[in-house]
Amino acid sequence: MFDVVFSLLGLIFLLPIFLIVFILLKLDSKGPIIYKQIRVGLNLNNFELFKFRTMYIGSDLKGLLTVGNNDSRITRVGYWLRRYKIDELPQLINILKGEMSFVGPRPEVLKYVKLYDSVQQRILSIKPGITDWASIYFINENQLLETSDDPEDYYIKIIIPKKVNQNLKYLEHHNLWIDLKIIFITIKRIIIR
């Protein structure tokens, strides 16, 4: 109920920001306003995750990971949308549809979910979310990947296991108060950063 009410209120309240982003994206580069990507959700069910498009058309064919703030695939407006996580706001629609929650393990693409062992797959027993402890910890993930000689290998061997461990801890200890704390810390980290 919390998710439905607050995602609906968020969509109504943020409508002016959505309109501004629509205009800026249309002026900045060609392509759709919303980018859709198949992600793995609750109980291994695939769903379309919505984001504001921050890259040039066809950029996802050159790799799934974004490396650094200066990735040449990112548009000028896309840089700012990513920096302040505004590109994630359309996921309120995913929440309203019941595919996501405000807080829960970030949904991953199937390519990386296939690497999970049976213990790690336990995080797929709850709805994915817009934010989680791992999102806070890895708020500068793009910069970490930029410093690596092999970003995808670093993501698979270092970042994914740490993210999954954070999410397994969340799975064991979560409630409304912890979720509100995660939301508050996420907003604080985005603003302070």
Sequential pLDDT tens for the chain (193 residues) = 889 999 999 999 999 999 999 999 999 999 999 999 999 999 999 999 999 999 888 777 776 677 766 778 889 999 999 889 999 999 999 999 999 999 999 999 999 999 999 999 999 999 999 999 999 999 888 888 888 888 889 999 999 999 999 999 999 999 999 999 999 999 999 888 6
**Token code pair at residue 146:** 């930029």
Cα 105 to Cα 26, 142, 160, distances in angstroms = 31, 18, 12
Domain ranges of the chain: 2-192
Tokens 């709850």 appear where? 126
Q: Answer whether 53's CB lies under 8 Å from 25's CB.
A: yes
